[in-house]
Chain A
């Protein structure tokens, strides 16, 4: 059966928790390395996870990053509770950002997050409900 997971792990991510921002993604990277996924693929998954995790930290109240690994693919499901994205097409454009000055001073908010995720994914789906939250489904084939 396609997509049957052999491994699943979920990480909690808190909004504005800058001290721990990126921990889920670095843990995911370690797991994928240990499983024996090729380094270039590990890097793609880690970058996609990190951008998605930072989006939760920077813009949402809280969220989860779920890693699923099957023989066919790596899947990252990122769900958050937050303001949502009113215009996804606009948010997908390189350079478009609603980031505050505080976020930019941290080195983020360049408007490259979602485009970076798309670039590193084989399949990328994003759904958002304004006032409720956003859900990303990122798949990288093995």
Chain B
């Protein structure tokens, strides 16, 4: 799903990275706990979060998160916006709650991980099927 679609579906304000909204994200992740993002997010995802400090952006950078949507009308501080600019991570903000925002993106076809990848146990053999 393109970031521009996400912006439209969630009626987002774009806080930084206006020029990057043609980028595709492969999946979505909703979390306020940064360790959960590190443990469970798929690389190349969009992160929906209510955490607005600079750690949200650092965590996104470390976990290869492509863009962040801040939910519940919360806005990040200046430091977070500045770091996101440096790291090239677009920041968006919506007034919707986490539940509502995740639900709308899921209904529009976005999933927690790319369609063809099912959850699997660490260390198992990865099988790829072409459909």
Contact = CB atoms under 8 A, between A and B. Distances in A.
Interface of A: 18-19, 21-22, 25-26, 29, 39-40, 43, 46-47, 50-51, 106-108, 110-113, 115-116, 119
B5 interface: no
Interface residues of B, number: 23
Contacts of A106: 34, 51, 53, 55
Interface string B24-60: 0000000011111011000100000101011110110
A29 B79 contact: no
- Tell me if A's interface is mostly helix, strand, loop or mixed: helix
B62 A113 contact: no
B21 interface: no
Contact of A112 (B38, B53, B62, B122): B38
Contacts of B51: 106-107
| Interface majority SS (helix, strand, loop, mixed), chain B | helix
Nearest to A97: B35
A110 B87 CA distance: 26
A108 B64 contact: no
Given A19-B79, A22-B58, A108-B55, A51 B63 contact: no
A22 B55 contact: yes
Given A43-B43, A119-B122, A29 B38 contact: no
Contacts of B13: none
30 contacts: A21-B58, A22-B55, A22-B59, A22-B62, A26-B61, A26-B87, A29-B62, A39-B43, A43-B43, A43-B62, A43-B64, A46-B62, A46-B63, A47-B62, A50-B59, A50-B62, A51-B35, A106-B51, A106-B53, A107-B49, A107-B55, A107-B59, A108-B33, A108-B34, A110-B34, A112-B36, A112-B38, A112-B39, A119-B39, A119-B122
